[in-house]
Structure 1
Amino acid sequence: MNSEGSSVYPISHLLGPPLIRLTGLLAVVLLPLWFNPWADVAFEPAKIALFLLLVLLAGSIALPTWLRKPDALAAPPRALRRWLSAYLAIIAAATFASVDPPASLWGTPNNLHGALVLAAGPLFALLLLLSWRTLAARQRQVTALILGSVPVALYGLIQALGLDPLPWTTDAISPVLSTLGRSNFLGAYLALIIPFTLARLWEPLPSGLTLAAARWRYGVVLALQVTCLLLTQARGAWLGATVAVAACLGLLAYRWRDRRLALAALLVCLLGGAWLLLMNRVSLVRQPTAASASAPFVELRLASTATRLLIWRTSAGLIGPRWLLGYGPATFTPVFKPNSPAELTSWQDSAIVTDPHNLVLDQWLTLGLAGLLALVATVVTFYRLTWRGLLSTADRPAHARSAAALAAVTGFLVQAQFNPNVIVTLAIFWIAMMLGVAEGHS
């Protein structure tokens, strides 16, 4: 496809693309903002309900076409279609073979990420891939991603200043949770969006703005995102964002043979690494009451690290008995609790651990080695296709778009080794992958 907008997929006009694209825009704008302040759990249940509604709406638009033209699914790259199909089939198999099939299908009150939620992310992103007929459609999707982060980041700044009218409570290090529910979730979300904002500094948009004016506006948004990320004090998210920004700059430096960008990437690594070390001792915001009442800042940092190490060690020990298909979606808590080490209670007040805080362990325990390998193969296919797109065109804005997708997915994968996943970050992770695939397959 050229930048003037010829169709990527010949069958995409049959899928009601305007309405499907609208659900994609609504997802990235509304999903981070959506919550229910009157519920006992204000954030994740409301966001999951909204996301499933959007996926159902997009699917109901596409389904009639698939029934009339079954080969419509042949449009995505064959390797991507093969591995996504394998991943979805393994989700179904792991649910059927689960230690608690009903819980694995629907989720539980402590873990809503059942099979339906796990499958919804890749299915929704695939529908969006089929509906992005033009470059302009993908640009609108990225613009919505970026603009949707502005109110989220602004609310985070309000919380950092102690001006939040809503009395949220948190046991995290930072009270800056915005509309994501916890500081590390907010940080992970921002780490995914920042590379796309950064890439806009090299991509002129068809809005009448000069490149200099666009750079100024997106530069302000980028500064807002980075400031809010700093205030979350989320180490995993900061590491993910550092890797993502360095990767984006490094890829562009390699493609454009630009030494200044290479030096900028090196500087980001040095400064980001230095701040990561200081984050264990320096607090940028006042600790929330729930956290400050338990221990000083440095001790809380040590407790957080010790907790993760205990959870990882115990989770790894649970793999053996069900290594092939795992225990099933949404079953981590009942599997982990009987094996929870006694030391964990000395570091963590809550006895409920709902996630291994590591993407590899989570996939292995949930879907087994089969699911983990299918996900890895899907991600590798994304890297291969997007890398091909980065190298195969002479269009500099296209290079920036491909680099942003590669960097965002890489940043997500880095931070996901330290944090639980929530529906917002999972949805954007899948959408970012499809944005990269669309660039490589155009």
Structure 2
Amino acid sequence: MIETGSNRFPMVLALLCTALLGGIGYAVWLGYAEQTIPGLAMVVAAIALSAISPAAGLAGVMMALPTMQHINPMPRGEFSLIELAIITSTFGIGLNLLLVSLRSGWRHLGDLFTPAQIVVPAIMLVGATAISLLNLADPSHMTESLREVRLVIIEPLIFFFTARLVLRRDHNRNWVSIVFILTGAAVAVYGVAQIVFDLGGVQAGDITRATALYSHPNNLAIYLERTLLFTLGVCIMRPRWVPMWILASIQAVGLLATFSRGALVGVVVGVGVVLLFIGAWRWIAGLAAAAVVIGLIGLLLFPDRLLDVGGGGTEPTRFAIWRSAIAMVKEHPVFGLGPDQFLYQYIRRFVEPMGWPERYTSHPHNIILDTWLRLGVLGLATLATLIFGVVWLIQRTTAQIRQDAWAIGAVAALFGGFIHSMVDNGFFLADLATISWFLIVIIITVPRAQTASVTAPAKIVDPPTTLSVGETWPTWQGTAAR
């Protein structure tokens, strides 16, 4: 066992293990894991690194988020990096917890079931999913439904419960949050480079919209919206953290390169909610003025994009999709269509002439309709219960959240993302589901000394190499790293 009085050690260890996990992920991306022996060696190494540093294991998931649409060949099938990261980190952290529990007891695992206001809807989500699978609109697409259940429901929930235990320690929480932000900035840089150097993207009239690692600019916009709001929340709470402002600026430019109107609205709303939450009333006027200025500049430079309604030009294409979705709800009001069934019903029977340009859309571009059609009325009840649970959690810990930079960022990202989900995808993608649960865990795990009213768990203990190590960062941590 290594013991040290320096609180730098867990961060250095997490940095080293995260870098190694990033190298493994890149090797998988390049196809080196397709053969049995190299593939198995990489999986075992990833599990071991996650056991050594649980923070690095979860950081690996954060790095893999924007690669969800890239499928990698493995000895036993094809997997995305986010799926591999969740699986290997879960096994590694599970091994860590087993070793700790054998020595110190099992009481610390009780946090898996708290707070009930979040755990109950998580369990309800599994139940709603199981029932929806028994009532698919088109059972011939059961394979597609099961795939979505695995990627969007089960694995993100596994991540949630794993993160619930690991992020109780402040240095773990700090590191995973930092990697989430850094990854967002790196993806934003790539997206901007696409535009500047003509490396790809999607053509929309006279403009090119950045896609980065995604196949569609809206997917990139939804991702960067979350990372940017998370970063801006930290900037608002710690305005002297110059590196954070730089990272936020990079992400903002990347988001602008997607030309996503919904994401921009989401960012404004998310920041506005945080300003109201912390009582920064004077900043509200500045935010409104900035939004107006950016909007006017956008109208002057890119009027065709900002005023484009799609379809035939008489109304937004979203309206036609929503009407079709409502028609589906009327036919399947109780159980919905089932997971990943929207596309197959929409293109066959429900697409309107006005919606023909987006006839291959796989979701109704509205979180309420999307949940209803995928999981039925029980899914709607689950969504309502989860929203209530998150609001309850925020209300119960308002004083503590106001002192925690990471939690403020999570509040901004959750609220801004929810507003955007009224006109686009909000949860039912592997990256969005995982990010949503991550943000919720960040709020749950505000510093222990301040949140005994929520839960008062024993602290998770890292593997033998990090036992008896201090909890905090030595530099630029603020209150978020107690």
Q: TM-score, normalised by structure 1?
A: 0.76
What is the aligned counterpart of 1:140 among 152, 175, 188?
175
What is the aligned counterpart of 1:424 among 427, 431, 448?
431
Q: 1:36 to 1:98 in 2, by over 3 A?
A: closer
Output aligned runs, 1:24-39, within 5 Å: 24-33=58-67, 36=70
2:257 alignment partner, SS class: helix
Is 1:60 paired with 2:91? Answer: yes
Q: Which residue of 2 aligns with 1:327?
A: 337
Q: 1:34 to 1:335 in 2, by over 3 A?
A: closer
Output aligned runs, 1:133-212, within 5 Å: 133-161=168-196, 163-165=197-199, 167-170=200-203, 174-201=208-235, 212=240
Counterpart amino acid of residue 23 in structure 1: G
C-alpha contact (below 8 Å) 1:17/1:132 kept by paired residues = no
Counterpart amino acid of residue 364 in structure 2: P
What is the aligned counterpart of 1:352 among 343, 349, 360?
360
Q: 1:311 to 1:317 in 2, by over 3 A?
A: same
Q: Which residue of 2 aligns with 1:80?
A: 118
Measure, in 1, the Cα distance between the counterparts of 2:84 and 2:354: 41
C-alpha contact (below 8 Å) 1:76/1:130 kept by paired residues = no
The number of residue pairs the alignment matches comes to 385
Is 1:342 paired with 2:373? Answer: no
Counterpart amino acid of residue 171 in structure 2: A
Q: Which residue of 2 aligns with 1:318?
A: 328
What is the aligned counterpart of 2:442 among 429, 435, 438?
435
Counterpart amino acid of residue 434 in structure 2: A
1:113 alignment partner, SS class: helix
C-alpha contact (below 8 Å) 1:187/1:237 kept by paired residues = yes
C-alpha contact (below 8 Å) 2:180/2:227 kept by paired residues = yes
Measure, in 2, the Cα distance between the counterparts of 1:131 and 1:423: 21
Give how far 1:321 is off.
2.7
Q: 1:280 to 1:409 in 2, by over 3 A?
A: same
Give how far 1:385 is off.
1.1
Give how far 1:177 is off.
1.5
Give how far 1:159 is off.
2.0
What is the aligned counterpart of 1:410 among 395, 404, 415?
415
Structure 2: 5+ residue runs without aligned partners?
1-6, 8-49, 456-482
Is 1:23 paired with 2:57? Answer: yes
Is 1:306 paired with 2:316? Answer: yes
Measure, in 2, the Cα distance between the counterparts of 1:382 and 1:232: 29
Give how far 1:363 is off.
0.5
C-alpha contact (below 8 Å) 2:309/2:317 kept by paired residues = no
Q: TM-score, normalised by structure 2?
A: 0.70
C-alpha contact (below 8 Å) 2:184/2:228 kept by paired residues = no
What is the aligned counterpart of 1:364 among 342, 367, 372?
372
Measure, in 1, the Cα distance between the counterparts of 2:192 and 2:185: 11
C-alpha contact (below 8 Å) 1:105/1:329 kept by paired residues = no
What is the aligned counterpart of 2:271 among 245, 253, 263?
245
Q: Which moved more, 1:301-310 or 1:186-195?
A: 301-310
Measure, in 1, the Cα distance between the counterparts of 2:345 and 2:150: 17
What RMSD, in angstroms, separates the aligned Cα atoms of the two structures?
3.4
Q: 1:320 to 1:94 in 2, by over 3 A?
A: same
Give how far 1:242 is off.
0.7
Q: 1:374 to 1:404 in 2, by over 3 A?
A: same
Give how far 1:19 is off.
5.0
Measure, in 2, the Cα distance between the counterparts of 1:85 and 1:37: 29
Measure, in 1, the Cα distance between the counterparts of 2:121 and 2:72: 41
Give how far 1:37 is off.
9.9
Give how far 1:281 is off.
6.3
